[in-house]
Structure 1
């Protein structure tokens, strides 16, 4: 027996009242110990704004000091890297390798238009389980909220 193919409009089916009954409407069962790294000065400004919001156990790193990376990742189980420009590729690679070695789940957020940040996207792609290119800062807040940061 074969199942029908997934159609492009399949996601719309999940928006029905019947499907909504199966959604989980409560916060994550466990709070993650999260780190949010700014990979460039523009991302540092974004991270400085995020600090003002209420979070559980999240440490925000507005400028990456690779010499302190071991300390920054101690006890972390989720790391988000934020880029707004192409000049954080080396930091993205170092953080990504360190997280992979420790089994830390990673996400990469590139704020800006994709064609303006191609190197940032290329640097984050091999190291981020989730990679989002967006122009909306609120996407960062939503992702952090969903992972229980």
Structure 2
């Protein structure tokens, strides 16, 4: 008489009983991320990141008061329209400029339930005007961020 061979966890996972616990819908599509530069140095970083191939990410520059955004092609578009299909906004700052725009965008995101992230690109410095500008409006804040952190963040969030 032979001894029964124990079933492996891989084999057990393929049973009908275990199949009912599987998630049977596809992964979510790429996030509709909006990346907004708040100053001239941040614009150069955002522009460089925009040149990569992204799913639904769109890239802008904002100036006070922040009701309009400027695309990388120089077109002016209303903030409200750009947030309509968005589920993530990344604010990028190096100098703390355009704090009113950061406040406008942050408030608009909060009302719509859009997740906001802030990148304070001030390598080697833990405090700056950029940090003070973004802190109230970013649910996630990367400080001090390096220039390549924006691309890594976008990849991590499947932008």
Q: TM-score, normalised by structure 2?
A: 0.70
Q: Distance in 2 between matches of 1:45 and 1:99?
A: 24
Q: Is 1:70 aligned to residue 80 of structure 2? A: yes
Q: Does 1:133 align with 2:143?
A: yes
Which consecutive unaligned segments of at least 5 residues does structure 1 have?
A: 1-27
- Taking the aligned partners of 2:59 and 2:44, their CA distance within structure 1 comes to 11
After TM superposition, list the pairs within 5 Å mapping 1:1-149 onto structure 2.
Answer: 29-64=28-63, 65-67=66-68, 68-113=78-123, 115=125, 118-149=128-159
Cα distance in 1 between the residues matched to 2:111 and 2:43: 25
Between Structure 1 and Structure 2, the one with more helix by share is 1
SS of the aligned residue for 2:136 comes to helix
The list of structure 1 runs, each at least 4 consecutive aligned residues, that deviate by more than 3 angstroms after superposition, is 113-117
Q: CA RMSD in A?
A: 1.9
- What TM-score do you get using the length of structure 1 for normalisation? 0.74
C-alpha distance after superposition, 1:15-62 (max 9, x if no partner): xxxxxxxxxxxxx64311010000111111111111111100011003
Kindly tell me the number of residue pairs found equivalent between the two proteins: 122
Deviation of 1:124 (Å): 1.1
Pairwise CA distance, 1:136: 1.7
Moved more, 100-109 or 66-75: 66-75
Q: Paired residue for 1:12?
A: none
